[in-house]
Amino acid sequence: MDAVLTAVIDIDATPEEVWNVLTNFATYGEWSNFSAAEGTARVGSRLTMRMPGMTFRPTVTVATPGQELRWAGTLGTKRLFHGQHSFVLSSNHDGTTRLTNREEFSGALVALTRRLLKTPKHDGYAAFNKGLKQRVEGLTGRSTR
């Protein structure tokens, strides 16, 4: 069974400006719902992501500046639990950037966690997007829309 969570937001900045904040993992604890993040946005590198009660170490699979950041991780084996997270940046006609924050889960454990993943209190993706928007727009001096 698979589960997909997606959150989309428009940010008043260029894709490159959004990318610079998104990939500056050392500052995540200042603005995001991650307690800490370490690593570099380079294909093949391992990241360390810490959230309250959880630490995980995904591998970066796509790192195209200003366009897409993707990482993947497993719990045990891919057949047990596999997650693939992506951030896709696209330019809007009005000069803003659309960020699509998406997580795809697969594996046997997804059936057990499906209801938990769908609850509003676990909508960390929308909260992450909002924090990123505020950080980027604060740094660029643009007002939030």
pLDDT in tens, 55-110: 888 999 999 999 999 998 876 666 666 688 899 999 999 999 999 999 887 666 66
- Answer for the pair 48, 55: CB distance below 8 angstroms, yes or no: yes
Count of the separate structural domains present in the chain? 1
- Say how far apart CA 114 and CA 4 lie, in whole Å: 9
pLDDT at residue 121 greater than cutoff 50 = no
Q: What pTM did the predictor assign? A: 0.84
CATH number at residue 45: 3.30.530.20
User: What secondary structure does DSSP assign to 25-67, as a single string?
Assistant: GGGHHHHSS-SEEES-SSTTPBPEEEETTEEE--EEEEEETTT
**What average pLDDT does this structure show over 130-145?**
86
Q: What domain range is 25 assigned to?
A: 2-140
Token pair in block for residue 57: 């170490």
Q: Are 9 and 84 in contact (CB under 8 A)?
A: no
pLDDT on residue 118: 54
Confidence of residue 130 (pLDDT cuts 50, 70, 90): very high
Question: Does residue 145 sit within a domain?
Answer: no
pLDDT at 30 over 60: yes
- Alpha helices in the chain, H assignment, sequence order: 15-22, 28-31, 110-118, 124-140
